[in-house]
Amino acid sequence: MEDLHNEEFEPLTVKQVSLKWGLYLGMAMIIYGILLQLLDQVGNTGLDMVNYVFMAALMYFAHKSFKDEGNGYMSYGQGLGIGTLMAVVGSFLSVVFSYIYVKFIDPSFMDIIKEIQIEKMQEQGLSDAQIDQAMEMSAAFMKPEIMFPMAFVFSVFFAFILALIISAITKNNDPSTEV
């Protein structure tokens, strides 16, 4: 008869941790985006950067979770994988929500973005003709089908950079696997 207490301990996988924490990140990004809109702070660059603070903090906690619930170790590569995959999941959820919101719930949101861009150009001292020209040139990119995939790519790229840094700090190599 097999002793159930001697079963092999199965540590968490990078994928399991990434999906769990990616869902948390996606929800945080969605809730924060809604909050910014409710507070009429869409386009506030400083507040937009708070998403990356969420990302860095959740990445740290994902790494901690991987080590705490696993065997206590995490290689640099595992940390990089967790951070990057977590960002892919979280950013994907956020972008899909944003696309659905802008495309079907509040199409006027794109007008708000355009108004913000015009205000920023006016603050820079551009003439009406220059603003019109700039808006014409950016019109092709101001569609949800273009804008949100670009936001996804940028978010994942920035998260990869964050994961490079955070993984270097949080790694804890298993000494038995080192040469």
Q: Tokens 């009406």 correspond to what residue? A: 128
pLDDT of res. 8: 54
pLDDT of res. 162: 97
pLDDT of res. 113: 84
Distance between CA atoms of residues 97 and 100, nearest Å: 5
> What confidence tier does 2 reach under pLDDT thresholds 50, 70, 90?
very low
pLDDT of res. 110: 85
> What confidence tier does 48 reach under pLDDT thresholds 50, 70, 90?
confident
Hey, where are the domains in the chain?
A: 13-106+152-170
pLDDT of res. 179: 60
Helix, strand, coil content of the chain in percent (nearest 5) = 80, 0, 20
Mean pLDDT taken over the chain:
89
**Cβ pair 131, 118 in contact under 8 A:** yes
User: What is the rounded average pLDDT of the residues 123-149?
Assistant: 87
- Positive/negative CA dihedral, 93, 104, 53, 57: negative
